[in-house]
Amino acid sequence: MRPQPLHIYYNTAGQSEYGLRFGPADADRIVLILPPLFDEMNRTRRMMVEAMRHLAKRDVASLLPDLPGSNESRTALSEQSMESWRRAASDAAIQSKATHVLSIRGGSLLDDATGLPICRLAPVKGASLLKTLLRARISADKEAGLVTSAEQLIIEGQRHGLNLAGHAIGPAMLGDLEKALPVLSDATTEAALSDVAGTALWLRSEPGDSPEMSAALAGYIDQWSATCGR
Amino acid sequence: MSQDVETIIRTLLSDVLGLSSEQVSALQDDSELFGAIPELDSMAVAGLLTELEDRLDIMIDDDEVDGELFATFGNLVRFAETKVAE
């Protein structure tokens, strides 16, 4: 039977945030998935959720939380920062009794806040994510006949926040993104794209899908999580 | 080196646009990109540029980005080769 999700909530910063959970209630391995950020999250969600179903078939539970201000969240994105998202990652890990973390792309900027063993896929610097968002804004402005530059947008954003490709980025998030780097430690493993039959779905212009990647990623996480942190 | 840059760009276009390896190998010097490939919108171009910087270890100034750059496959490859040589 196709594994069915459980809709759960976790609390962070006084708010209740949604999470999607798969797998046995009494699983001895619970993998917290920290998804890519902003547009990249939408483009990879289907692949991640299919990977969660595969994990459930292997009796590994998993949780995909909404970060405050994203997806179903009723909190304003403009009030978030990398710090509030790192707290959310840590709160979700504790409340879901997570034993392991899988972080993808920008999720890797949050993962070390959980203190759990981490497997990373295609980690990215905050500055690269910001640059892409700024470029999309500059090119949309250009199409609308406006000439803007990254420097000018950042100065404006530091005062009032910025709308970048439909995301309300507040001054705190802007400042944090410029500096944020994935933190390396002994608890971190990095999966190569070739290990998980991976294609860079997060770069696609449209949300995509890759059943091969979902299955391979679940297999990889099952093996990896069986050998550490238990 | 020139071959490497071209190969990297083919792989990148496949990653960004979800093109098959056959479609990507079929790209010629004068194959049109912007306008001919509907998937190549402003968000995709933004992601493509940042990824190009990372994979080729180059810096691209936003002033250098115009419609010409993405007009054809050959234009994009030549631009990247010039940046790598700098």
Do A10 and A109 sit in the same domain of this protein? yes
**Per-residue model confidence (pLDDT) at position B3:** 58
Do A190 and A139 sit in the same domain of this protein? no
Q: Do A39 and B43 touch (CB under 8 A)?
A: yes
* Residues of chain B with C-beta less than 8 angstroms from the C-beta of A199: 15, 18
**Per-residue model confidence (pLDDT) at position A107:** 98
What ipTM was estimated for this complex? Answer: 0.82
* pLDDT tens digit sequence for B38-80: 778 778 889 899 999 989 999 998 888 887 888 999 999 999 9
The residue written with tokens 């020139």 in the block is B2
Q: b or e along A110-139 (b: 16 or more beta carbons within 10 Å of the residue's beta carbon)?
A: bbbbbebbbbbbbbbbbebbbbbbbbbbbb
Cβ pair A157, A171 in contact under 8 A: yes
Cβ pair B82, B52 in contact under 8 A: no
Cβ pair A33, A110 in contact under 8 A: no
CATH code, domain with A26: 3.40.50.1820
Do A197 and A157 sit in the same domain of this protein? no
Do A146 and A114 sit in the same domain of this protein? no
Instruction: Name the residue among A108, A139, A114 with its Cα closest to residue A202.
Output: A108
A46 shares contact with chain B (CB less than 8 Å): no
Do A155 and A175 sit in the same domain of this protein? yes
Q: How many CB atoms lie within 10 A of CB A20?
A: 20
**Per-residue model confidence (pLDDT) at position B2:** 53
Do A174 and A203 sit in the same domain of this protein? no
Residue B16: pLDDT band (50, 70, 90) is confident
Do A120 and A200 sit in the same domain of this protein? yes
B65 shares contact with chain A (CB less than 8 Å): yes
Residue B15: pLDDT band (50, 70, 90) is confident
Do A98 and A11 sit in the same domain of this protein? yes
B67 shares contact with chain A (CB less than 8 Å): no
CATH code, domain with B54: 1.10.1200.10
**Per-residue model confidence (pLDDT) at position B1:** 46
**Per-residue model confidence (pLDDT) at position A26:** 95
Do A20 and A34 sit in the same domain of this protein? yes
Q: What domain range is A140 assigned to? A: 126-181
Number of domains present in the structure of chain A: 2
DSSP-derived 3-state class of residue B34: coil
Number of domains present in the structure of chain B: 1
How is A17-81 classified by DSSP, letter by letter? EEEEEES-TT-S-EEEEEPPPTHHHHHHHHHHHHHHHHHHHTT-EEEEEPPTTSTT--S-GGG--
Do A118 and A188 sit in the same domain of this protein? yes
B20 shares contact with chain A (CB less than 8 Å): no
For chain B, the C-alpha Rg in angstroms (whole number) is 12
Q: For chain A, which ranges sit under pLDDT 70?
A: 229-230
